[in-house]
Amino acid sequence: MTGAEHDDAVERARLLLALRQRGIRDRAVMRALEEVPREHFVEPAMRRVAWSDHALPIDCGQTISQPTVVALMTQALEITSAHNVLEVGTGSGYHAAILASIARHVVTLERFRTLARTAALRLRELGFTNVEVVVADGLAGYPAGAPYDRIVLNAALREVPAALFEQLAPEGILVAPVGPPEDTQMLVRYARKGGGLERRDLGPVRFVPMLPGIAAVL
């Protein structure tokens, strides 16, 4: 084991302990967080802190969310190996990899072509064949793959668009950071129950804002 690999192992163990202390008990989520190599999803200059519990910058002015937030969101989704999942906001592809480690199939939407291409390549190289990366406007969802058992949004918005709830399956769960994009948001879990939605607030978070449309250049 090289020095860098040893440091990664130490930081990974420290992170897993922190996750347990934060109340992450889902075994599938913990296994995914342990096994997905986060260092492959960050910029080369950030690799030495890849396993720290912090959000880190990536291309196009976006971020890779801190692991405890990814774990909290994933646990709240209650994913099983039978589920079809929609992720809005691919970013580096890290959260898609976590989701794909548990779910049957993941469709992940990204408005920046550069991020989508890079994430698709990373995921393919790491063997995640059950992920479909699509360049699309996340606010509209992806009707071609609907209905989705689970939907997760990785960017903040004032309210979840009706189009996304329409693509949520009966008994489905949607998790999103809801609130003013320029301020702290509330991480919210919506569960479809019968003909309505049950809302549960999970705690304050801070995400980059969700932008409409497909980026013109990047």
Q: Hey, which residues are catalytic here?
A: 65
Among all chains, which residue has been given the structure tokens 């190289």?
A: 125
Sheet holding 131-135, edge to edge: 131-135, 105-110, 84-88, 148-153, 168-178, 185-193, 196-205
Q: Which residues on adjacent β-strands are paired with residue 112?
A: none
Q: Look at residue 217 and give its three-state secondary structure.
A: coil
- Residues 149, 157: Cα–Cα separation, whole Å: 21
- Closest among 22, 110, 103, 108 to 66, alpha carbons compared: 22
